[in-house]
Amino acid sequence: MRKAIIIGGGPAGLSAALRLQQITNITSTVYELRPEPTTLGGAIGILSNGLRLFHRLGVYDDLVAKGSSHSMLSLRSLKGSIITQQNIVGRVREQNGGFGYLRIKRIDLLDVLLKAAEKAKIPVHFDKKIIKIEETENEVKVTFSDGTIDTGDLLLGCDGIHSAVRKLYVDPDHAMEYTGFAGLGALIPMSALPGHSVEELKGINATLTTQGVFLTMSCSSKDDEAFWGFSKEVPLPATGDTRDGWEVRREEEIARFKNDLLGMIGDAKGDWGDTMRTMVKETSVVRFYPVFRLAAGGKWYRGRCLLLGDAAHAMAPHAGQGVSMAAEDVFMIARLLEDPNRSLEDAYASFDKIRRPRVDEITKQATSNSEVRRNSSEWGLWLKETAIWAYFWASSLVGYKALANTERQLLYDVDEEKI
């Protein structure tokens, strides 16, 4: 029996522990930096390729019971009209066994995975800060700030974009990059909104402005809670990308964002304009977050240690694939480790070779999707709206052929890759 040490008790780490137990002879112990499950991240979108894997993990039904499966996107104008409507998973739901889209609060996703881990008797330890990683010929040894030590046959770094595993051991020089965008987001009860809002908010709504995109969507199975977010270009603080710099900027930006946002949507027409303004005004707790990504390239493994998910390849969130990419990583490495006679070096090298082209493709898509959020003039905004309308109109005329690449990405099945 082999043992894995998993650093990171988020979706990637918990999913890795569950999948390793399902198909390998590897037992896992999970260590999480934070003292308790975190609400960071607000609401998370999971697309078809990820939902299929959570079904195989055995948690799909529990996730659906907590999240919203509405997948109709309405692109709206500040003038009150709907520019276009499109199901973001297209025909994929029908081609993919019913797996389409799910929007779920991050804390609910973690709750489902933690309960599954508890049922599987997988140890999960909180408030554990890793400070040292050492290797011998036969094991990897980790030391935590509280003085405790653990050893295992392998270590999986599932600890996100600020990964201690990457910084301490695997690739300390792999730098983060600020994307130039930051966001403001909040959860709000539907009961605080006008009665007509509930039906509109069941889907995904994107309203273009000259300074970014205002997004709203339901994130609960009962459609009693909604998420709103606004992303725009924000200069890097003068102090650089340090956490101290951003903490100061957060204090300033939250108030400025809310005021600017109300100014931008102040003249929005119709019921939808009323809904957006009410959502912002009724919000008391908001989260400001700068959007970072990892620079291209970088090492994903060293010795007995492998990075998964955002720890290896954090990308901008504008493709909605962060959680799904981590799930694909988990399923691939579990398959590669299923044979106990396969060396870690071979498994990790194969993982890198197979996963990197897929990750690069989705990263490019996320970067491309961010362009619609860039500042523009009123004329530029009209051009954006017209171009998007024309794209979807043309796509409908040719039977969605123009959307074939998106469908291919959503129908991708990591378990069908040759290993």
Q: pLDDT tens digits for 101-143?
A: 999 999 999 999 999 999 999 999 999 999 999 998 899 999 9
More confident residue, 51 or 366: 51
Q: Give, to the nearest 10 degrees, the angle between helix 322-337 and helix 344-369.
A: 160
More confident residue, 205 or 264: 205
What is the identity of the amino acid at 212?
G
Instruction: Assess if residue 411 is contained within a domain.
Output: no
Please state the domain count of the chain: 1
Instruction: Assess if residue 206 is contained within a domain.
Output: no
Q: Tokens at residue 74, please?
A: 């309405």
Bridge partner residues of 287 (DSSP): 185
* pLDDT score recorded for residue 253: 63
Residue the block writes with tokens 């523009």: 376
Name, in order, each residue with C-beta under 8 angstroms of 344's C-beta and a sequence gap of 6 or more. Answer: 153, 154, 303, 304
Q: Please report which helix (H) or strand (E) contains residue 292, including its range.
A: strand 287-294
Instruction: Assess if residue 198 is contained within a domain.
Output: no
Would you list the DSSP string of 203-248?
A: SEEEEEETTEEEEEEE-STTS-EEEEEEEEE-PPPTT-S-HHHHHH
CATH label of the domain that carries residue 363: 3.50.50.60
User: pTM (2 decimals)?
Assistant: 0.90
Instruction: Assess if residue 125 is contained within a domain.
Output: yes
Instruction: Assess if residue 126 is contained within a domain.
Output: yes
> Which SS3 state, helix, strand or coil, does residue 22 take?
helix
Q: Mean pLDDT across the chain, nearest whole number?
A: 87
> Which SS3 state, helix, strand or coil, does residue 20 take?
helix
Euclidean distance between CA atoms 110 and 112, whole angstroms? 5
Instruction: Assess if residue 362 is contained within a domain.
Output: yes
Name, in order, each residue with C-beta under 8 angstroms of 101's C-beta and a sequence gap of 6 or more. Answer: 45, 46, 47, 48, 51, 69, 70, 71, 88, 89, 93
What range defines the domain where residue 358 resides? 2-38+106-176+295-370
Cβ-in-10-Å burial (0-12, 13-18, 19+) of 257 comes to buried
